[in-house]
Structure 1
Amino acid sequence: MSKQNILIIMVDQLNGTLFPDGPAEWLYAPNLKKLAKKSVRFENCYTASPLCAPGRASFMSGQLPSISGVYDNAAEFPSDLPTYAHHLRRAGYQTALSGKMHFVGPDQLHGFEERLTTDIYPADFGWTPDYRKPGERIDWWYHNMGSVTGAGVAEISNQMEYDDEVAYEATRKLFDLSRGHDPRPWCLTVSFTHPHDPYVARKKYWDLYEDCEHLLPKVSAMDYDDHDPHSKRIFDANDWRNFDITEDDIRKSRRAYFSNISYLDDKIGEILDTLERTRQEAVILFVSDHGDMLGERGLWFKMTFYEGASRVPMMLHVPGMAPHHETTPVSNIDVCPTLCDLVGISMDEVDPWTQGESLLPLINGQRRVSPVAMEYAAEASYAPLVSLRQDNYKFNRCALDPDQLFDLASDPNELINVIDDPVHADAAEKFKKMANARWDLAQFDEEVRRSQARRWVVYDALRNGNYYPWDYQPLKKASERFMRNHMDLNMVEERQRFPRGE
């Protein structure tokens, strides 16, 4: 199979329920809708873990957090864990990243030959949770509800500045690739931080949703005591008692979130337009790391297996492949083996330990028999949580809590736990057996605690004396850009022009 160019567009915290078959009709997202028409749209795609760093490490490697060791937003991504960037680069690809991937640790490349920007989040161990102190809020980095009460309009923010740069560097890279100086096929990953909170948007996008009919959640906020135990832990971690969330706050937050989808759509449009104008053809993957609850049940952000946080959009365009709508549950950990399968790269050396699976058989009509698995072992948890999604069901388990089983066909809002319902007894027994076979939760918990304890020691130690940050410092070789006296000036303009001689 030919080694096709690959363009991966990743966004952050995009709720997959807004993408039932591409973007919902009422979203102002013309570029994503255009991409959807020529893509396989995966309606029921899930994250491996509903949090940034573990979700992204799993997406890149095809491994769940219990294997990768990336349990939370301050867990080191091991340098010896192959990613799709390693596999592609080993097979002769040039690999580049523009934007966020939330790598923690001194390795800030993980197979990418080039990073065009720094990351938006820190690369050290400072955001490590601590299971030894259940209920303790680490106020200087834990989420709180200020993102909701502070929602509104702004023309610039920390995140806007970042994503403006991500898009600029990505389009600039596509122009550079078109010049053909490097004959290798390429894989460019462009990773934005929107629509991740804070819920702040530019007025031009805010105005698009003035009359939006979707500014309130389908399931209103519940009383604290009516929530399941893990949801209560999320409320506590988010410091909900110190905030008064009004209906106006909810409307503004959701409006800004939808507005930022339109902001992203413009950025993605710039990238796809550049690809087209430079006459380059590529596989195009659009995906998110995890979702956002957006006020459903009173919950915000992520950290839960409920659909809003765990379900993500995923669309795959392959030149020559017929577009269609796929409803079988899949995972974004399937990306790594799918990309390798698409371009004919063998993963035999690591296949016995790879938990993701290629989506090509499913796309070609074969039935998928394995369930989708998810794990969570980060802030707002006091012990690991695990989940299985297959057919119409989702099964959730934590050693601290009662098991949950939801029939999403009859209960899409996950309001009725049918784990003890005789009607669903066969399904409950099936999922319990699958969970027992897959996870040793006591061992999982021990591994998480060991990792946390080690990182707290290392973080404290490295903050004493001279501090050397792991944050990625983008290389800007100014002496190799534009026109310099060590260059053949007769060739500079010709080499940098695309197309040439037209």
Structure 2
Amino acid sequence: MSQTKPNILVIMVDQLAPAFLPVHGFDLVKAPNISKLAARGVVFDSAYCNSPLCSPSRAVFMSGQLPSRSGVYDNAAEFRADIPTWAHYLRREGYQTILSGKMHFCGPDQLHGFEDRLTTDIYPADYGWTPDWDHPEDRPSWYHNMSSVMDAGLCVRTNQLDFDDEVVFAAERALYDHVRSPDKRPFCLVASLTHPHDPYAITEEFWNLYRDDEIPLPSHVVPAGELDAHSKRLRHVCDMDNAEITEQQIRNARRAYFGAISYVDSNVGKLLKTLEATGLADDTIVVFTGDHGEMLGERGMWYKMSWFEGSARVPLIISAPGRYQPRRVAASVSLVDILPTLIDMANPQAAAALSGVDGRSLLPHCRGEGGHDEVIGEYLAEGAIAPVMMIRRGAFKFVHSPDDPDQLYDLSNDPEELANLADDPAHAEVLEDFRREAAERWNLVDIDAAVRESQRRRRVVDAALTSGKLNPWDFQPFKDASKQYMRNSIDLDDLEAMARYPRVRP
């Protein structure tokens, strides 16, 4: 099969820190299918999210807009229906756009340009998880706590396994439907899994791929009193200071997390095998990425929500044999670049005409023609009391928040981010350049006010909508059973012939 515009399969995972993948040097984890994809693709060694939390990160991924522009500040901020996504742009270019799995869209619009959505979401679409910067001392019940670590281990079944098994089955069926359908438009299909996101629980099949005695403990644990101000707040938000975590519980959590990565990898293998079986592999670009990382006990921290590497880095592989030669990219890029990249794959002229986006195409990197080396990050959600902004360029990462001391790290010499250089006289000029850039880039007073006002509005609306009759926004998948399997509306022989692949008769 061959066509001018390539098919695109996006495989998205949740909370996968690339530092725990063999493709990035962590050989303990067994992920042969991701490694196979990387071996024939372009691997980005320094890819980041632009906001280390599910919903804002995914809104950036879809829209190419940073949170301060889109207004998707946190896990309960509405993603407005009038913001174009790459699904809208690709539909204009003649693509069938399909979503299977998680995207954490908040608000009434649960499609955002997708023509077909095959599953519901695993997370709620309402305003119930709205943070409250006016009362940072309060801990709502929906915040993370340490039960994910304390209860980590083996399971037979979980909510997340139910979800991801459905996601992959629906995505596989969509690929089979594509080759059996008379609709020959190219497709962009997203299969978005919720693993290896906590809770850290996995089945025996994947748990037993690892042994307790080979699970490494976190390499650096920073005493709580020596943590930066934002990390201290995150410990409060996640109730870490009130939890007694044992070494065995840490090993259990990491072992289950590694098992969940292997579970993800097995599903990547299923999707790649389906591309091969349907003859779509040669005409399909595969993009593998995630929404944010996972600290997994490093620095004494868990989950995400900070700009440290474990939390902010994401996997990113673009595999298109015959289009882009396998290579590694050292330059720093981010999820905000995905929208212009996908449009560039479909129509370079349309990509060149884009406006109102904050990202840049990654295709120069894929072709070995250079490309940008810059990441802009904005964190405007729980655990913060003011905007927490980040700039990554070259060797340096700069983190700035009006209420906190600045942080400056030289990642080329200090990949563990153990030495904050903000007070180092030798780096005073570098620091001042970043401070000047931040002042020019962001009006933090206005952004802070906009975030707080949004939170206040949403809390009023949520209190009202949860009183009386509930009319949820959660996506309800529709299936027309009258057109599935054997029905008298279609001649039996014709139906069987249409459903069989490869075809045995016209």
SS in structure 2 of the partner of residue 381 of structure 1 = coil
- Relative to structure 1, is the Cα distance of residues 458 and 346 closer, same or farther in structure 2, using a 3 angstrom cutoff? farther
Deviations 1:424-457 (A, max 9, x none): 2232122112211211111110110111111011
Residue of structure 2 in register with 1:495 after alignment: 498
Q: Does 1:160 align with 2:161?
A: yes
- Quick one: which of 50, 53, 64 aligns to 2:52? 50
| Cα separation, 1, equivalents of 2:353 and 2:149 | 43
Cα distance in 1 for partners of 2:349, 2:430 equals 36
Give the residue type in structure 1 aligned to 2:11: I
RMSD, aligned CA: 1.6
Matched AA of 2:433: K
Structure 2 spans left out of the alignment, 5+ residues: none
Cα deviation for residue 47 of structure 1 reads 0.1
What's the counterpart of residue 328 of structure 2? 325
Aligned runs of 1:83-232 on 2, under 5 Å? 83-139=85-141, 141-210=142-211, 213-220=214-221, 222-232=222-232
TM-score w.r.t. length of structure 1: 0.97
SS of 2:315 mapped into structure 1: strand
Residues 5 and 428 (structure 1 numbering): CA distance in 2 closer, same or farther, change over 3 Å? Answer: same
Aligned counterparts of 1:445 and 1:155: Cα–Cα separation in 2: 44
Distance 1:368 1:92 in 2: 28
Q: What letter corresponds to residue 453 of structure 1 in structure 2?
A: R
SS of 1:326 mapped into structure 2:
strand
- Report the Cα distance in structure 2 between the residues aligned to 1:453 and 1:128, rounded to whole angstroms: 9
CA 1:484 to 1:20, structure 2 compared with 1: closer, same or farther past 3 Å? Answer: closer
Q: Deviation per CA, 1:447-489: give whole Å up to 9, x if none.
A: 1011111101111111222211000000111111011111222
Q: How many residues are aligned here?
A: 500
After superposition, the Cα gap between the structure-2 partners of 1:336 and 1:273, relative to the gap in structure 1 and judged at 3 Å, is same
* Map of 1:280 onto structure 2: 280
Query: Structure 1, residues 179-204: CA drift from partner, whole Å, max 9, x if none?
Result: 13211111110000000000001111
Question: Does structure 2 conserve the Cα–Cα contact (< 8 Å) formed by 1:22 and 1:33?
Answer: no
Asked whether the 8 Å contact 1:74–1:124 carries over to 2, the reply is: yes
- Deviation, 1:21, is 4.1
For residue 354 of structure 2, what is the aligned residue in structure 1?
351
Quick check: 1:87–1:345 contact (8 Å CA) kept in 2? no
SS at match of 2:98: strand
Give the SS at the match of 2:428.
helix
Please report how far the alpha carbon of residue 37 of structure 1 lies from its aligned counterpart in structure 2 after TM superposition: 0.6
SS of match in other structure, 1:209:
coil
Report the counterpart of residue 293 of structure 1 in structure 2.
295
Matched, 1:428 2:428: no
1:290-336 Cα shifts (integer Å, max 9, x gaps):
00000001100000000000001100012311010111000011111
User: Aligned runs of 1:51-70 on 2, under 5 Å?
Assistant: 51-70=53-72
CA distance in 2, matches of 1:435, 1:424: 17
Give yes or no for contact 1:215–1:255 (8 Å, CA) kept in 2: no
Name the residue aligned to 1:15. Answer: 17
- Whether contact under 8 Å (2:97, 2:115) holds in the other structure is yes
Query: Which has the larger displacement, 366-375 or 239-248?
Result: 366-375
The one-letter amino acid of 1:325's match is R
Deviates more, 1:453-462 or 1:3-12: 453-462
Q: TM-score, normalised by structure 2?
A: 0.96
Partner of 2:375: 372
1:250 aligns with 2:250: yes
Asked if the contact 2:377/2:389 (under 8 Å) is kept, the reply is yes
Q: Which amino acid aligns with 2:170?
A: E
Give the whole-Å Cα distance in 2 for the aligned partners of 1:78 and 1:146.
34
Q: Are 2:468 and 1:465 equivalent residues in the alignment?
A: yes
Corresponding residue SS for 1:44: strand
Q: Which residue does 2:445 correspond to in 1? A: 442
1:238 aligns to 2:238 (yes or no): yes
Q: For 2:73, which of 71, 78, 84 is the aligned residue? A: 71
Cα separation, 1, equivalents of 2:151 and 2:426: 45
How far 1:370 sits from its partner (Å)?
5.5
**Displacement of 1:155:** 1.4
SS at match of 2:208: helix
**d(CA) in 1 for partners of 2:426, 2:350:** 42
Moved over 6 A (4+): none
Q: Deviations over 1:143-182 (max 9, x none)?
A: 0011000000001001111111111111111111111321
The answer to whether residue 461 in structure 2 is matched with residue 455 in structure 1 is no
- Shift in Å at residue 348 of structure 1? 6.2
Q: Does 1:262 align with 2:265?
A: no
Aligned to 1:328, the other structure's residue is in SS state strand
Contact 1:21 1:325 survives alignment (8 Å): no
* Per-residue Cα deviation, 1:203-224 (whole angstroms, up to 9, x for no partner): 111111115644311112x332
Query: What per-residue deviation string (whole Å, max 9, x for no partner) do you get for residues 15-46 of structure 1?
Result: 02234745733221111111111110001000
Moved more, 381-390 or 458-467: 458-467
